[in-house]
Amino acid sequence: MGKRKKIFPSVLITDIADKGLALGRADSGEVVLVQGAVPGDRVKVLSKRKKKSVAFGFVTELLEPSPDRVEPVCEHFFDCGGCKWQNLVYEKQLFLKNKTVINAIERIAKCRPETIGEPIPAPATTFFRNKLEFSFSNKRWLNLEEVKEDRKIERGNALGFHRPGSFDKIVDVEKCHLQPAPSNQVRNFVRDFAIKNNLEFFDIREKTGLLRTLVVRTGPAGQLMVIVAFAERNEEQIELVLDAIVGEFSDITSLYYVINEKANDSLLDLPMQLYHGSEFLEEQLLDVKFRLGPKSFFQTNPAQAEKLFEIALEYAEIDGDSLVYDLYCGIGSISLPAARRTKKVVGIESVPEAIEDARINAELNGIENVSFFTGEVEKLLDTYFFEKEGHPDVIIVDPPRAGLHPAVVDAILQTSVEKMVYVSCNPATQARDIGLLKKNYELVNLRTVDMFPHTSHIETVALLKKRSTQS
């Protein structure tokens, strides 16, 4: 990979690429992947590296703006990198996401569905998330204007998001447009209080300092859960921070803290300590209540998740006598609403904590016709399991980004299941798996649901039905 700088005086942006980059072609004919551009722009680009025949760069001058370009609403847009499509009109975002899904199916699966529904837009394109994690750092990211200033600027402390490509520096966020109030108020209060009281922000390189990460989770009717991760045990300073949060946000639902002395920021394998309030928040999807603790996985855009799962259940066409398998079931987000509509549901998930939550949520809702199993789907789903739990009428899958394990594909092909609903967060792996399944199954319906506006992230739901004659 080359690292020589090169100026492209004129690049016409024609399409999108992975990770929010834009695809363009220079007047010289070279292909360039560009940060900060949108389809239809003509831009001047500075490239700092090249991989094979593709140059990577960023916009230094907007020569001709695209008719689809809009002004970003966030003041941190050019530094943060979280909402990379905020400068692209929303209708175009939906079009490009749907195009990506269709292209993946046609190119990888080499088939086309009977019906492609219109993409489901998000009812809100800002303030839609119910959870965010912020990082503390004693090395604040300096923006381009600050770097250009002819004076020394102290980096200082920051509480916000990692700058893409710079693991040890944090963009100090004043207002994030992803999560509703009081998310911004909580983050800014904790940051300002810590600075005022000379509390040490984490040094990401040296692994020193007190304050490491801050998680804010919001719920219906003003529910608020805050989790503060400290990098060292200093009881006096920890209590100082936690008491200040309770004092400022007296109606806080839950306040947890955790000591994280590990090399990474993951908190799932660490004990959480409840400092104030209730152990849980409550959310509702469709007609089911979910109890959420500090480690619970839950869809971060519940309004769109409800639409996603409604489509999945509509495609499943379950009735009161159906046996439904929900593979990669998580905390039961699909299993439990499905159980309200049918005879029996079987859920499989590899994360023990998720299965524990699923069982608790089933009990909370008085749902008794669902069985949850902990284990890798590819290891549990065998002939013995089908004989013991029954042969399903419908299989619903919602795998991680890697898609279905080959053994799961084989198991599905060997069943007599008539319908399969495939929920996916990765069009490429979904298309790969559909290409393998089309031996016995026909792709009937495909729908894109926009869970994360202003990003390239895509969620889809596909319906596959068993062929009358296998190919």
Residues assigned a catalytic role: 425
- Give just the sign of the alpha carbon dihedral 172, 174, 175, 179: positive
Amino acid at position 226, single letter: V
CA atoms within 13 A on the CB side of 432: 12
Residues 6+ apart with CB under 8 A from 151: none
Question: What is the token pair recorded at 17?
Answer: 């690429």
- Cα 111 from chain centroid (whole Å): 27
What interhelical angle do 406-414 and 427-437 show, nearest 10? 40
DSSP letters for 356-376:
HHHHHHHHHTT--SEEEEES-
3-state secondary structure 48-85: EEEECCEEEEEEEEEEECCCCECCCCCCCHHHHCCCCC
- Whose CA is closest to 133, among 183, 175, 196, 84? 183
- Whose CA is closest to 80, among 7, 178, 154? 178
- Cα 375 from chain centroid (whole Å): 23
Report how far residue 442's alpha carbon sits from residue 432's, in angstroms, rounded to the nearest whole number.
Answer: 14
* Phi, psi (deg, nearest 5) at residue 415: -80, 170
